[in-house]
Structure 1
Amino acid sequence: MQGLHLTADLHDCRCAPEWLTDSALLGEHCLQAVAAAGLQAVAHVFHTFPATDQGLGGVTATVLLAESHLCVHTWPEQRAATLDVYVCNFGGDHSAKAQALMLAMTTLFQPCQIAQHALQRG
């Protein structure tokens, strides 16, 4: 049960608008970032929400990992996103992999402001 749980609230994202509205595009990036960090995806769900009066709908991208999960939520009307990375494993410390995944996801969105938190669990 021990692991590292990272969260980030990203504000004023300067990324291309598609990263905030296209679930297939964002989902593919999530899967690539997971693999690049040395983690193992075992399932995923990528969902685009319907448009509102304020514009295109946001996206939720969730990747279930053998080590736990990655979850991304976007709010295109606010140019914002939230990230949640939890990596746990009895066999070893995967904190560096969690941090690499968080960095890859944060870099994608190019936020002007970031509020990050880290929690050692277990």
Structure 2
Amino acid sequence: MDGIHLIADLYDCQCPLPLIETLTTLEPCMVTAAKDADMQVVGVRFHQFQPVGVTGVVLLAESHVAVHTWPERAYVTLDVYVCNHTGDNQSKAECLFEALIQLFNPKHAERVQVKRGSRFV
């Protein structure tokens, strides 16, 4: 299925520390951002590392959003993948991706965009 995969490495994040330190702060923000981008959330799985740091995924009917945090380095990796099975979701993916990058407020962001499933177009 064709789609778009947006990937970012976010360096020197200036967001409030609890956002990248604790699951209880990060998880609801990720779910809300997905819903605000008009994505259909079908599952959520996050893990809290000790003493700090979180890894998590928001499963979407359209695919997924994944996040991994390293608070001790103010570093976050972000992954937004959506397929276009029932319609073109690229603008929704881009909106979600940009909203999450703004949420983490990095001083530097490296972004990659990958087209997926181009043989199915």
Q: TM-score range by the shorter chain?
A: over 0.9
* Inter-partner Cα distance in structure 2 for 1:18 and 1:104: 18
Give aligned pairs, total.
117
Alignment of 1:1-122 (within 5 A): 1-51=1-51, 57-122=52-117
Q: Map Cα deviations across residues 50-72 of structure 1 (whole Å, 9 max, x no partner).
A: 12xxxxx2101210000000000
In structure 1, runs of 5+ residues without a counterpart are: 52-56
CA contact (8 A) 1:24 1:46 kept: no
* Inter-partner Cα distance in structure 1 for 2:95 and 2:14: 21
| Offset at residue 85 of structure 1 (A) | 0.3
CA contact (8 A) 1:13 1:111 kept: yes
The alignment-based identity, stated in percent, is 45
CA-based RMSD of the aligned residues comes to 0.7
* Inter-partner Cα distance in structure 1 for 2:87 and 2:40: 14
| Offset at residue 90 of structure 1 (A) | 1.7
| Offset at residue 80 of structure 1 (A) | 0.5
| Offset at residue 22 of structure 1 (A) | 1.1
Report the secondary structure of 1:92's partner residue.
Answer: coil
Displacement over 6 Å in runs of 4+: none
In structure 2, runs of 5+ residues without a counterpart are: none
| Offset at residue 89 of structure 1 (A) | 2.5
